[in-house]
Structure 1
Amino acid sequence: MTPEDLFREPELPHSGPRPRQDLDVLPQGSYFEPAEPAGYPYEETYSTYGGARYLEQHWAPAGQFGADAPTAPGQPGHYAPTGGAPHEDPPTIELGPPIDTPPVEVHFPYPQPEPGEGPGPLFVIGDVHGYLDELLAALHQQGLIDTEGHWSAGRSRVWFLGDFTDRGPDGIGVIDLVMQLAAEAAAAGGYCRALMGNHELLFLGASRYGDEAVQSTAGTASFLAAWRLNGGQQHDLERLQPHHISWLSRLPAMALEDGHLLLHSDTTAYLEYGETIADVNDAVHALLADEGIDEWWDAFRKFTKRFAFRGQAGTMAAQELLAVYGGYRVVHGHSPIPYLTGDQPEDGTPPHVPGPYIYADELAIAMDGGVTMDGRLLVARLPLN
């Protein structure tokens, strides 16, 4: 009996055919590959699996997810999928102060924690890229939401690792859901938080700077051109509201939870923005609030680099980040696991991504299951052993 027989993947909804997914590119078509890390031996030939492994035991056995599965809150069950023409470029939207929004109705009032009671379980969620139906199903399969899409996880702690929009059908719907769950989780004694990904920087840049020219290493470009090239959906830009911009622009770039250093991108570029997590987050927020288009573009480029923890130099890169910011393991999204491992089928068939991927001598966990390329939208409870 194979591992696939023991740990079958849940049957998640599918939002339709997906074009072949490439890595993020510059407007002139150059891939964002990592530059040679200073002080590290580096070679173009990467190891694939090495000492890493997939964690298939974190997926529900066959029969626990589908139309006949139980649907009580907190149990796996079936979540039914919910179901713009181009026009002239929209005007630039300036960043502004937070806008008051109506309070979210709380459907699950939980008791307050007892004195001395420890925190709830910790979950991380990989790149979503606008696939709202798949996200709803994955959250429900883990017992984090009920059949109506409301928080059902009590005092659990949830971190999204960034990249809510682009490529998929409903990026704004994803953002609205995460904002809703943040309010409901707080009322339940838990929390739902999110990191800023490179696609948040790109989306915000497209809304703010539009077609304003920026000088890049690939030639003259613009945020709007780069956003469209990397899967930007016009209907998301049309639905972007000031309260979305305010929320997105205040997301942290990194966090530390239970010894896990949470990042969006598998890059060491964070080191260029500060020597503490607070310094990095403050620097990114200050850049988005006050700096100009060239500084913003530079940040987007740096946080779009990838593969820093892969290959012979990967362990040292992970150790450097952990030594500076704390923790014992890096958890990131950004690089789809099939690209990270080199296990992308050449015949165009969907890649097999049964779970998160531990690598770099077990110092790094990759959480981008490649939902945009018919892989998986990954939700995992930490720690992974």
Structure 2
Amino acid sequence: MTPEDRFPGPETPHSGPRHHQDLDVLPYGSYYEPSEPPAGYGYDETYSGYGGAHYLEQHWHAPAHHGAHPGGHDATVQLGTLHRTGHEQPVHEPTGHEQPPHEPTGHEPTGHEQPPMAAATGDDPPTIELGPPLTEQPVNFPYPQPEPGEAPGPLYVIGDVHGYLDELLAALRQASLIDADGHWAAGRSRVWFLGDFTDRGPDGIGVIELVMQLAAEAAAAGGYCRALMGNHELLFLGAAKYGDEPVQSTAGTASFLAAWRLNGGQQHDLDRLESHHISWLSRLPAMALEDGHLLLHSDTTAYLEYGESIAEVNDAVHNLLADEGADEWWDCFRRFTKRFAFRGENGPDAVHELLGAYGGYRVVHGHSPIPYLTGAVHADDGAPPHVPGPYIYADELAVAMDGGVTMEGRLLIARLPVN
């Protein structure tokens, strides 16, 4: 029996067809991280062992020191205890006194780890215990501004949405982040979307407008709702700006519009794209650091190619979108479409490289659907992939948040611990 069998969640809307193409592709095929492995890393396109990989445990009642917002609505996911058949292992909880992660020592599989393709062979992956959400009514908007020295509100991250507006609204209500009318109901909470609002799903512009609305309402409530730029934002904006103009890719001539259509671009989204959408999307940061969590869209080390600090990376991407040409824009999209840098036995080394440059003790990302990370993409009976929640892997240094909503998975919202 799965956690969902014991504690079923709300009815999940099904607002549109799921496309068969789930991983992003360039015009010449799937694009992984990286095409030619650099010296010192053992990247490949196979599943090669997941150090400390498991799902995040569900907690509905968060301790007060985690900064619960008024009303105590904590239908959230936090780092918890690893549950496996035959043994348990505590997950590191931040104490507020951590130093940056030490240099990796080279994790080797111990024999107790979940086999990479276990879910495809019938064994249950490590799972989490889910509990029922709290039922109290949310406190009414608006909320007072925080007092000087007051603890920050709880921190939430939201995985790839890809145009599935109804699924996003249902997940936000379930987490008590919005009310029944779709307005901010989370007080001083801090919310980060990890990018990829459009493409594949039926209403990408609706998703963008909802996030823009929540950003304004959250600010008035003393919290905030922010978002990262994903590779699909780069692709969508590029399709709008450059259309069929040829760009020089590493594999030949391509165009933004052709690549956008290949990756699930919806013409009605492009038709509804307005100048205020473009302005808002163009200013999204590429990365952020919150409570010791390095927030990224893509599970790639390509961010290191754009700067030695978070500010440098964000400025470089913004300057590129403002001043550079189509080829440079395309190259940025290509780099941020890379994936799987944190997978396999050398994944912790890649995470440490990013944390060493930008700070934090853990990476949280979207982009790569969890079923691809766990090897549970295709079930023999044709059932949707099993995604109990966010997935922690790479020696517990990385948290994956793309639940595979485009492939009948889940749209994930997680509450992260406060450092």
Same fold, TM-score > 0.5, yes or no: yes
Asked if 1 retains the 8 angstrom alpha-carbon contact of 2:390 and 2:400, the reply is yes
State the match for 1:78 in structure 2: none
Determine which of 393, 397, 400 is the counterpart of 1:363.
397
Superposed counterparts of 1:147-296, under 5 Å: 147-296=180-329
Shift of 1:22: 2.8
1:72 and 2:137 equivalent? yes
Asked if 2 retains the 8 angstrom alpha-carbon contact of 1:71 and 1:147, the reply is no
Count of aligned positions: 350
Distance verdict in 2 for CA 1:54–1:372, change over 3 Å:
same
Q: Please, what TM-score do these two structures have when normalized by structure 2?
A: 0.79
Determine which of 156, 169, 176 is the counterpart of 1:123.
156
Shift of 1:110: 1.2
Shift of 1:215: 1.5
The amino acid across from 1:19 in the alignment is: H
Shift of 1:48: 5.0
CA deviations 1:157-210 (Å, max 9, x no partner) are 000000000000000000000000000000000000000000000000000000
Quick check: 11-20 or 237-246, which moved more?
11-20
Distance verdict in 2 for CA 1:112–1:43, change over 3 Å:
closer
State the match for 1:328 in structure 2: 361
Shift of 1:44: 4.6
Shift of 1:40: 1.6
1:376 and 2:377 equivalent? no
Structure 1, unaligned stretches of length 5 or more? 75-106
The amino acid across from 1:34 in the alignment is: P
Distance verdict in 2 for CA 1:143–1:345, change over 3 Å:
same
Provide the C-alpha distance between the structure 2 equivalents of 1:10 and 1:340, rounded to a whole number of angstroms: 26
Distance verdict in 2 for CA 1:131–1:341, change over 3 Å:
same
SS at match of 1:21: coil
The amino acid across from 2:368 in the alignment is: S
State the match for 1:110 in structure 2: 143
CA RMSD after TM alignment: 2.2
Provide the C-alpha distance between the structure 1 equivalents of 2:228 and 2:31, rounded to a whole number of angstroms: 23
Shift of 1:218: 2.9
Shift of 1:15: 1.2
Quick check: 37-46 or 216-225, which moved more?
37-46
Shift of 1:55: 1.9
State the match for 2:58 in structure 1: 57
Provide the C-alpha distance between the structure 2 equivalents of 1:58 and 1:232, rounded to a whole number of angstroms: 36
SS at match of 1:256: strand
Shift of 1:337: 0.3
CA deviations 1:17-73 (Å, max 9, x no partner) are 3232331111233434423134223455423554210125258688957xxx95833
Shift of 1:373: 0.2
CA deviations 1:268-309 (Å, max 9, x no partner) are 000000000000000000000000000000000000000000
SS at match of 2:415: strand
State the match for 2:38 in structure 1: 37
CA deviations 1:97-126 (Å, max 9, x no partner) are xxxxxxxxxx82212223321110000000
Asked if 2 retains the 8 angstrom alpha-carbon contact of 1:9 and 1:354, the reply is no
The amino acid across from 1:237 in the alignment is: L
The amino acid across from 2:188 in the alignment is: R
Shift of 1:312: 1.4
SS at match of 1:133: helix
Structure 2, unaligned stretches of length 5 or more? 61-74, 76-128
Q: Please, what TM-score do these two structures have when normalized by structure 1?
A: 0.86
Provide the C-alpha distance between the structure 1 equivalents of 2:407 and 2:45, rounded to a whole number of angstroms: 24
Asked if 2 retains the 8 angstrom alpha-carbon contact of 1:260 and 1:328, the reply is yes
Asked if 2 retains the 8 angstrom alpha-carbon contact of 1:10 and 1:62, the reply is no
Identity %: 82
Distance verdict in 2 for CA 1:245–1:38, change over 3 Å:
farther
SS at match of 1:136: helix
The amino acid across from 2:16 in the alignment is: G
Asked if 1 retains the 8 angstrom alpha-carbon contact of 2:50 and 2:343, the reply is no
Asked if 1 retains the 8 angstrom alpha-carbon contact of 2:159 and 2:413, the reply is yes
